[in-house]
Amino acid sequence: MTREMSEIVQAIRQEVIAKSVRWSALVATPGNRKRLFIAVCLGAFAQWNGIGVVSYYLTLVLDSIGITDPFYQTLINGLLQIFNFAAAVSAALLVDRLGRRTLFIWSGIGMLISYIIWTACSAINNEQNNKAAGYVVVVCLFVFYFHYDIAYTPLLMSYPTEIFPYSLRSKGISCELLSIYGSLVIQAFVNPVGMENLGWKYYIVFCCLLVVFLAVTYFFFPETKGRSLEEIAVIFDGPGAAPDVDLMEKEYVYGKEHKEVL
């Protein structure tokens, strides 16, 4: 009971300290700038990796490969949702087993390969009216969704939560959400125009983007599996940079007393 009370008191103190931290703190140090970069990139990657085309314009995708029957379109959509649920549950079990970075890289490679095959088969189906190529596209839809689900479903919000210190967590997540919804707004205007005017060639844009996203993930996304907040702080800010709550409290109290004196 005493330990629980201590944790509650400590959490309340940290919340008070967090309120005194300004937005400029997000770019005040190299470590915080890297955290912000990862959060903003993750929000944009989650929307611009091609998932928007499948999620919102599945009918247009199926129309482009000759599957125009409403029954089969509805059937494929329903099976995709059931498959997504199963993949998401599997991903939740894999996060603490394989690690965050591993899942992000695995996801990026899987989405890239499936999108390349998807694009090639769409081109063959469009130019040669090859039904077999159209069926491969449907398979690629499921493969793509699986690789999206293993990383972006469980880690979209949890990964930034881990890398930001307590005092910056709410602000960091807010920036990520701004990136997500900003990307959604842009896609709402861009995707239908791209699909209508470019057809299967529009998929090439996402193939290129997925290459960039995979490179950024490989070079900038650190592994946080099994690490404490102090160890994660060392990854971003260097040795000796682990968060010291007591020091933060002293600085806050000193600042408060200083204001009262003035």
The CATH code of the domain that includes 145 is 1.20.1250.20
Residues of the domain holding 71: 31-226
Domain for residue 5, yes or no?
A: no
Per-residue pLDDT at 14: 61
Provide the Cα torsion 230, 232, 233, 238; round to 10°: 110
pLDDT > 80? residue 208 = yes
Domain for residue 234, yes or no?
A: no
CA 194 to CA 205: how far, in whole Å? 10
**pTM score, whole prediction:** 0.81
Domain for residue 255, yes or no?
A: no
Domain for residue 117, yes or no?
A: yes
What number is the average pLDDT over the span 27-48?
Answer: 93
pLDDT > 80? residue 257 = no
Domain for residue 11, yes or no?
A: no
What number is the average pLDDT over the span 152-178?
Answer: 90
Per-residue pLDDT at 13: 66
Per-residue pLDDT at 104: 95
Per-residue pLDDT at 101: 93
Domain for residue 204, yes or no?
A: yes
CA 155 to CA 161: how far, in whole Å? 9
pLDDT > 80? residue 197 = yes
Residue with tokens 């007393």: 257
What number is the average pLDDT over the span 114-127?
Answer: 90
In the chain, what percentage of residues exceed pLDDT 70? 84
Q: How many domains does the chain have?
A: 1
Domain for residue 100, yes or no?
A: yes
> CA angle 152-243-18, nearest 5°?
75
Domain for residue 247, yes or no?
A: no
pLDDT > 80? residue 9 = no
Q: Which tokens hold the place of 226?
A: 């099994």
Q: How far is CA 140 from CA 104, 113, 170, in A?
A: 19, 9, 37
pLDDT > 80? residue 165 = yes
Amino acid (one-letter) located at 162:
E
